[in-house]
């Protein structure tokens, strides 16, 4: 029997196209799995069985008639609930937008729909992609399928959990300070933040206009590249969208990395922060694997991680408060406590601090570009620690602070989080692979070579 929970996009697509499985059968199996297990995981805010099955029947008829739209045709997916779907509430996991019915589809959702994908539902997030994990919101926070007592990472928490739980093979998240790569790291999946402007944010509720990205989340690298092929592209109506040609992101998959130059930003995780020993050891083992595959390894030295993180935080909080100020004046009680605490700090950032942060950003963009001139990609930590417990607020705050993802939102370069195994306690470990602007294909090549050499992308936990 087919194990639908473990199917990759690539495998499912071939089976659907050949008639070995049907989109309706696949969709029903995943809906049944969600019904059986999501009561413990809380990956979804809204499951949409009727519309999903109707879309699956339509896809089945189209494929049987010879009208195959591509690899997502008949394949289920989920969207973080800050991404608009026409006629469905975009709640941002907040009481404030509980009845906010979207008038049209976000660009990324439209592309997935046009590709024949089957939307199963909207996934949990942190409130407005910043306040969480919280228990004082209309919906509970997502839990980690590897251990439901632990954090999923945020803010694309439900998307990460849904993938790790085998509820969907594909999901989208957003990433302003690491919110695709954080749940990827903590849930043992793959999450890519492409170059700033590579994927349109039209129809996605903003957190910070200067730093927001939309990114694909999958269980493996090939699937991630296939999903990026669909959602990437210039959208003239989106002022943040880059007018850059879109390659086939799968083109380099399977090519060896012998002779490739890989820099290691080691001081991020052994000096600027001292990573958990198991996390650091996982990264070092991964570097050894890449070296064994023929890559040439060298060291990269950048400004301290705290300088990148501080500039990112000042810009993020300033822009977030500017967006939320009217609601903070009119209905502050309707925010969760964590959102209030985090966003209100933006009210006390001076204009001079914001301007100086943007100037520091420009300098750090140049610094990273110079450091990357002599390498093809760089490797560093994503999270410094395995996921903390949901009943440990101090540990969760440390999880947010102890990370190396924000530098690549600030500089806008592509970065992917991939699993490096499991800790002794059975929780995911991870690393980050960073590329040059609009060179996602090279990042995917290295990530895929590592994944194929280790097999880590195939792991999902057993659910009780």
Burial class (CB in 10 A: 0-12, 13-18, 19+), 119: buried
Pick the catalytic residue from 94, 155, 200, 241: 155
Report yes or no: 72 and 13 within 8 Å, Cβ to Cβ: yes
Q: Rounded distance, CA 403 to CA 411, Å?
A: 16
| 436 counts as catalytic | no
Active site residue 179: yes
Supply 254's token pair: 């399977």
How far apart are the C-alpha atoms of 80 and 191, rounded to whole Å?
A: 13
Residue 207 half-sphere exposure, CB side, CA atoms within 13 Å?
A: 33
Q: Is 299 exposed, middle or buried (0-12, 13-18, 19+ CB in 10 A)?
A: exposed
CA 44 to each of CA 62, 87, 124, 219, 311: distance values in angstroms, whole numbers, following the listed order: 28, 17, 5, 18, 33
Establish whether 185 is a catalytic residue.
no
Q: Strands, DSSP E only, in 26-101? A: 44-47, 76-80
The one catalytic residue among 80, 95, 122, 361: 80
CA 294 vs. chain centroid, Å, equals 29
CB half-sphere exposure, 310, CA atoms < 13 A: 11
Active-site option among 8, 157, 159, 179: 179
Is the preceding peptide bond at 141 cis, omega within 30 degrees of 0?
no
Bridge partners, residue 147, by sequence:
144
CA-wise closest residue to 151 among 422, 423, 389: 389
Gap between the Cα atoms of 309 and 177, Å rounded: 9
The catalytic site residues sit at 80, 155, 179
């Amino acid at each position: 029997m087919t194990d639908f929970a473990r199917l990759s996009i690539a495998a499912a697509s071939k089976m659907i196209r050949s008639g070995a499985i049907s989109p309706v059968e696949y969709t029903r199996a995943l809906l049944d799995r969600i019904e059986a297990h999501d009561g413990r995981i809380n990956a979804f805010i809204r499951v949409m069985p009727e519309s999903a099955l109707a879309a699956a029947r339509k896809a089945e008829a189209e494929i049987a008639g010879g009208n195959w739209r591509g690899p997502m045709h008949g394949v289920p997916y989920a969207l973080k609930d800050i991404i608009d779907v026409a006629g469905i509430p975009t709640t941002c996991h907040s009481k404030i937008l509980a009845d906010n019915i979207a008038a049209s589809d976000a660009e990324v959702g439209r592309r997935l729909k046009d590709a024949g994908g089957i939307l199963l539902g909207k996934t949990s997030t942190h409130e407005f992609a910043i306040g969480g994990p919280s228990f004082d919101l209309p919906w509970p926070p997502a839990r980690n399928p590897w251990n439901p007592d632990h954090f999923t990472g945020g803010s694309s928490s439900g998307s990460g959990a849904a993938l790790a739980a085998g509820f969907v093979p594909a999901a989208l998240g957003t990433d302003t300070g690491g919110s695709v790569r954080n749940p990827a790291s903590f849930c043992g999946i793959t999450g890519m933040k492409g170059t700033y402007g590579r994927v349109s944010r039209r129809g996605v509720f903003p957190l910070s206009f200067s730093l927001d990205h939309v990114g694909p989340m999958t269980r493996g690298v090939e699937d991630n590249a296939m999903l990026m092929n669909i959602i990437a592209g210039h959208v003239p109506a989106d002022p943040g969208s880059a007018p850059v040609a879109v390659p086939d992101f799968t083109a380099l998959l399977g090519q060896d990395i012998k002779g490739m130059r890989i820099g290691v930003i080691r001081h991020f995780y052994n000096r600027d922060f001292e990573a958990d020993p198991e996390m650091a050891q996982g990264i070092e083992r991964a570097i050894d694997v890449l070296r064994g595959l023929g890559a040439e390894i060298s060291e990269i030295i950048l400004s301290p991680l705290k300088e990148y993180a501080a500039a990112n935080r000042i810009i993020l909080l300033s822009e977030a408060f500017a967006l939320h100020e009217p609601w903070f004046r009119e209905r502050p009680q309707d925010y969760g406590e964590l959102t209030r605490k985090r966003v209100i700090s933006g009210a006390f950032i001076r204009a001079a601090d914001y301007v100086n942060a943007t100037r520091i950003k420009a300098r750090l963009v140049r610094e990273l570009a110079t450091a990357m001139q002599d390498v093809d990609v760089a490797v560093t930590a994503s999270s410094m620690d395995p996921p903390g417990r949901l009943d440990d607020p101090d540990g969760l705050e440390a999880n947010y602070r102890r990370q190396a993802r924000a530098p690549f939102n600030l500089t806008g370069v592509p970065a992917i989080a991939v699993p490096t195994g499991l800790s002794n306690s059975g929780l995911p470990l991870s690393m980050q692979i960073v590329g040059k602007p609009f060179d996602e294909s090279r990042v995917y090549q290295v990530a895929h070579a590592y994944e194929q050499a280790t097999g880590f992308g195939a792991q999902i936990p057993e659910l009780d």
